[in-house]
Homo-oligomer: A and B are copies of this chain.
Amino acid sequence: MARVTVLGSGVMATALAFPLSDNGHEVRLVGTHLDREIIDSIQETGVHPNLDLKVPEGVRAYQLEEAEEAFESAEVAMSGVNSFGVHWAGERLASLLRPGMMVIAVTKGLEAAENGDLRILPDVLADEVPEDIKDQVSWSAIVGPSIAGEVAVRHETCVVFTGLDAEVLEDLARLFRTGYYHVWTDTDFVGCEVCAAIKNCYAFGAGFMEGLLDREGKSEDRYRRYNYGAALFGQATRELGRWMELMGGEPETPYGLAGVGDMFVTSMGGRNVKAGRFVGAGEPFSEVQNGRMKGVTLEGVAAIRVVGETLPKLAERGLVAHEDFPLMRHLYEIVAHDEPVDMPWSTFFGGER
């Protein structure tokens, strides 16, 4: 039996308590300052309000002030915050981690340096931790197609644990694997994390196909816009491959669970798709963000901003061509400059020809 302590009690972190508990491990959820009501609810009724499910028997919930107690004698520390909380989580972990712990993160995103260099979030998380501790724990992450609630109701799910140390990944995988939660391991840390972050951007675009129907009053029509969505999916896949070249990921990483698999599931719904749908229907993105979706965390949109601001810098440095990533650049124009959706089809797939 292992002790797994989770910083953050969002839906994904909490869902992972299900396979862990099914395997007899002890799970301790520590709420962030934003999770106070979630922790109250779990402590009082056992129910996670956003998942709308009772957490497994034996899962214990802690308020942030009790974090030290919760991390006591834990072998595994999970970072369960979203991309906006990664620096905060790293600062907290700095005082909570102890040598020998295995850290595993579910956060997906990218951060850019001033010169345009992109960094994966597990590295950003680790860099908040002082060197002496940072080097005495292991850093890994979970990627792949995984809607949290489906894990929590024990629907079959296939994911990838990624990090640089194959043995650690296998140790972690053994803790989580059940009959419904299948885990592969992959030491292409950069490639897996870049896919996980970038596919969220393209999922925003997946909302356009419904939005365009809304705009035309065709929401109930027999003929949808799947051809449109499929073309975007194809171009997004092309661009994922190009991201691997740029970031040093393995060429085949996009073409399995971490890439197209995750992009498929993310395109089926969620907040980014919803925001994309409003934009596809004709609303400028700034109105969506300040109106109907005010206060909603949009990690895909955040990643589009990071990446979109970075591409011109990388082009100036000669690392990408100005015409590279045409779909990503259009997504950036939409979210950063309120451009209407108007796909530059002829620039896709190396240019229509």
A residues adjacent to B (C-beta < 8 A): 52, 144-147, 149-153, 155-158, 170, 177, 182-185, 221-231, 233-235, 237-238, 241, 252, 254-257, 259-262, 264-265, 268-269, 343, 345-346, 348-349, 352-353
Q: Is the CB of B155 within 8 A of A227?
A: yes
User: A260–B229 Cα gap in the complex (Å)?
Assistant: 11
State how many angstroms separate the Cβ of A257 from the closest Cβ of chain B: 4
Q: Is the CB of A226 within 8 A of B260?
A: no
Using Cβ atoms and an 8 Å threshold, which residues of chain B touch A352? 177, 182-184
User: A237–B195 Cα gap in the complex (Å)?
Assistant: 15
Using Cβ atoms and an 8 Å threshold, which residues of chain B touch A262? 230, 234
Using Cβ atoms and an 8 Å threshold, which residues of chain B touch A153? 221, 223
Using Cβ atoms and an 8 Å threshold, which residues of chain B touch A222? 52, 149
Q: Is the CB of A345 within 8 A of B260?
A: no
Using Cβ atoms and an 8 Å threshold, which residues of chain B touch A147? 223-224, 226-227
Say which residue of B183, B221, B265 sits within 8 Å of A227 (CB atoms).
Answer: B265
Using Cβ atoms and an 8 Å threshold, which residues of chain B touch A185? 353
Using Cβ atoms and an 8 Å threshold, which residues of chain B touch A144? 234
Using Cβ atoms and an 8 Å threshold, which residues of chain B touch A257? 230-231, 234, 349
Q: Is the CB of A261 within 8 A of B230?
A: yes
State how many angstroms separate the Cβ of A308 from the closest Cβ of chain B: 22
